[in-house]
């Protein structure tokens, strides 16, 4: 199938392979060694690596710089970009900057509210929202124009993604919301971490009923649990996260030293089950500060070796 | 209405520490309704300031007055003859009233006695909530009469975000998710299909982004 951009991720998805992506959070300082190391650890087991954009509103080294670093290492970054901190001037400018380094994937997000982070007294921007950012990137890429209408000298050749949370409320608009993102021009989706597989499959059923799985590539998001404590924290404290009681009970059923192994096992089982779910085009494995486990998960889930994407 | 909240008394005392003749000036409009700056609150603040002066052994004269409005020159003129007896005024009006009073009485310090908070409504006595941010370009017709600019913490035009949980906002379980309210209302109006209409980029030039705003109405100008 022909691709619209030079993105390796796009090529792999359009060729019909189950894609595998992962993500890394940039460091809280200027020392970039950390991201280089994380990239090295997972590069042979994933097709692309998302770099988060000041996730949970904790100030970090910028996503763009970390993406450039990965690109210079020959890896395939996905630039996460939130509308919380930049107005439409800064967003367009950063998109062009990323494109100038041949960063060919972008994930359009609104971002966690700044009250969760280290600058809770700061102002937020939200000049445009995540859906409008999808439209903006597509406009720049496809029309070759700025939002203001002027011609671009060089279009950003970016494969355009967004997030979807099948577990947030109101549930009834979660499929329509995906339809809205597709209408805005989204080409791939990475979902919120899936622990409630039944509910995810119910959402996917609604997605298929409207044929939305044929209009964008849906990568199922998975995060292995490290411990019962992490599972409880995610259940109680992380907005929009659905961690069923069975997940907590299963982790509680093994001794403390083996909970992490059990979490990995559960993650692998989830991937195996979701491989059978029609419309799932790949997996987004977010092993938070646990990137060294990504190769093991990918191999055990039967997703290794990766296609070369050329 | 414009909703205001009381300022901490310590902050007001600090502003007034070098003044001997003070006028506490209330406003009979919005701040009276939200019980922050009307005649009653003028009396309470004036008494507190007198008590504080006595406690500190200072001789301070504190007068009380509440005008019909402080955002109207006609009413502000009522203090023209008496203003010279004061070396400071504490205005309990909103930020508009404080500034308008200062503009009329250019050489007189006018201190704010309240924090102006938002454009809102009375939920019940003692509880006020925000409804409007005066962005200058009303979109309520397309959002079921509920404003995402004022009521969504991320002012999403195509919400909700992934943090909406059981009808509440991710920032605080006390705050309603504006987009849950919008969806519920569109449903009640049998217009849920409208949810999928993409909301275009907003023109913020009518908002704060465009600089200080002005409305000129030739049809009513004299």
Q: How far apart are CA A160 and CA A133, in angstroms?
A: 10
Of B170, B192, B198, the CB nearest to A131: B198
Q: Which residues of B touch A88 (CB under 8 A)?
A: 201
pLDDT by residue for chain A (310 residues), tens digit each? 799 999 999 999 999 999 999 999 999 999 999 999 999 999 999 999 999 999 999 999 999 999 999 999 999 999 999 999 999 999 999 999 999 999 999 999 999 999 999 999 999 999 999 999 999 999 999 999 999 999 999 999 999 999 999 999 999 999 999 999 999 999 999 999 999 999 999 999 999 999 999 999 999 999 999 999 999 999 998 888 999 999 999 999 999 999 999 999 999 999 999 999 999 999 999 998 899 999 999 999 999 999 988 7
A53 min Cα distance to partner chain B (Å): 16
Q: List C-alpha distances in Å: B30 to B26, B117, B118.
A: 11, 12, 11
Each residue's pLDDT tens digit, B24-39: 999 999 999 999 999 9
Q: Which residue has the tokens 């993409």?
A: B198
pLDDT classification of B222: cutoffs 50, 70, 90: confident
Mutation for testing the B interface, residue in A130, A132, A139, A169 having most B CBs under 10 Å: A169
Query: For chain A, which residues make up each domain, given as ranges?
Result: 8-300
B113-136 residue pLDDT tens: 999 999 999 999 999 999 999 999
Instruction: Give the number of A-B residue pairs with CB atoms closer than 8 Å.
Output: 98
Is residue A217 within 8 A of residue A13, CB to CB? The reply is yes
pLDDT (tens digit per residue) in B58-115: 999 999 999 999 999 999 999 999 999 999 999 999 999 999 999 999 999 999 999 9
Provide the edge-to-edge strand list for the sheet that holds B110-112: B61-67, B21-27, B88-91, B110-112
- The burial of A304, by beta-carbon neighbours within 10 Å (0-12 exposed, 13-18 middle, 19 or more buried), is given as middle
**What letter would DSSP give residue A47?**
S
Is the pLDDT at B192 greater than 80, yes or no?
yes
Compare CB distances from B158 to A129, A168, A192 and report the shortest one's residue.
A129
The answer to whether A145 faces chain B, any CB pair under 8 Å, is no
From A136's Cα to the closest Cα of chain B, the distance in A is 9
ipTM value of the model? 0.94
Section B40-54 average pLDDT: 98
Residue ranges of domains in chain B, CATH in brackets = 2-118 (3.40.50.2300), 134-210 (no CATH)
Q: Which of B165, B192, B201 sits opposite A168 (nearest CB)?
A: B165
Distance to chain B for A176, nearest Cα, Å: 6
Determine contact: B154 vs chain A, CB below 8 A.
yes
A115 vs B: CB within 8 A: yes
Contact yes or no for A136/A128 (Cβ under 8 A): yes
Nearest to A131 among B158, B167, B171 (CB): B158
Greatest Cα-to-Cα distance within chain A, rounded to the nearest angstrom: 62
What is A8-300's CATH number, 3.20.20.220, 3.30.70.20, 1.10.10.10, 3.20.20.10? Answer: 3.20.20.220
Interface mutation vs chain B, best among A180, A239, A241, A243, most B CBs within 10 Å: A239
Contact between chains at A168 and B161 (C-beta distance less than 8 A): yes
């Amino acid at each position: 199938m022909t691709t619209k951009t030079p993105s390796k991720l796009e090529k792999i998805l359009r060729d019909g392979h189950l894609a595998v992506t992962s993500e890394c959070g940039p460091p809280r300082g200027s020392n970039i060694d950390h991201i280089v190391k994380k990239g090295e650890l997972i590069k042979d087991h994933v097709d692309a690596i998302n770099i988060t954009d000041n996730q949970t509103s904790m100030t970090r080294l910028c996503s763009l710089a970390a993406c450039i670093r990965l690109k210079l290492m020959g890896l395939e970054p996905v630039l996460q970009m939130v509308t919380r901190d930049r107005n439409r001037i800064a967003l367009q400018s950063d998109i062009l900057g990323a494109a100038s380094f041949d960063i060919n994937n972008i994930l359009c997000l609104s971002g966690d509210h700044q009250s969760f982070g280290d600058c809770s007294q700061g102002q937020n921007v939200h000049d445009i929202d995540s859906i409008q950012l999808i439209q903006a990137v597509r406009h720049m890429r496809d029309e070759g124009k700025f939002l203001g209408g002027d011609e671009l000298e060089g279009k950003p050749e970016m494969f355009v993604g967004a997030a979807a949370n099948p577990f947030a409320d109101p549930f009834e608009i979660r499929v329509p919301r995906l339809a809205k993102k597709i209408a805005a021009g989204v080409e791939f989706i990475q979902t919120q971490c899936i622990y409630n597989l039944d509910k995810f499959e119910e959402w996917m059923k609604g997605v298929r009923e409207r044929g939305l799985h044929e209009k964008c590539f849906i990568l199922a998001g998975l995060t292995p649990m490290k411990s019962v404590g992490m599972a409880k924290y995610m259940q109680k404290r992380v907005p929009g996260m659905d961690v069923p009681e069975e997940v907590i009970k299963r982790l509680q059923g093994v001794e403390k030293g083996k909970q992490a192994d059990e979490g990995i096992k559960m993650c692998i089982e989830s991937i195996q089950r979701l491989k059978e779910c029609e419309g799932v085009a790949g997996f987004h494995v977010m092993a938070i500060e646990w990137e060294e486990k990504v190769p093991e998960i990918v191999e055990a889930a039967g997703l290794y070796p990766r296609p070369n994407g050329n | 209405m414009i909703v205001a909240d009381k300022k901490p008394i310590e902050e007001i005392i600090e502003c007034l520490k070098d003044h001997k003749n003070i006028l506490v000036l209330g406003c009979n409009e919005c701040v009276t309704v939200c019980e922050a700056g009307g005649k009653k609150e003028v009396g309470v603040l004036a008494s507190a300031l007198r008590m504080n002066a006595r406690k500190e052994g200072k001789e301070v004269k504190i007068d009380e007055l509440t005008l019909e409005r402080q955002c109207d020159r006609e009413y502000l003129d009522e203090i023209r003859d008496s203003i010279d007896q004061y070396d400071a005024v504490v205005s309990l009006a909103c930020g508009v009233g404080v500034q308008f009073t200062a503009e009329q009485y250019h050489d007189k310090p006018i201190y704010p006695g309240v924090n102006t908070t938002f454009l809102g409504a009375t939920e019940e006595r003692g509880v006020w909530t925000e409804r409007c941010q005066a962005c200058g370009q009303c979109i309520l017709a397309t959002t079921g009469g509920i404003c995402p600019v004022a009521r969504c913490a991320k002012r999403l035009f195509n919400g909700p975000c992934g943090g909406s949980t059981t009808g509440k906002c991710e920032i605080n379980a006390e705050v309603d998710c504006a987009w849950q309210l919008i969806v519920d209302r569109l449903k009640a109006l049998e217009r849920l299909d409208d949810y999928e209409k993409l909301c275009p980029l907003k023109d913020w030039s009518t908002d704060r982004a465009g600089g200080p705003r002005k409305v000129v109405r030739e049809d009513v100008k004299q």
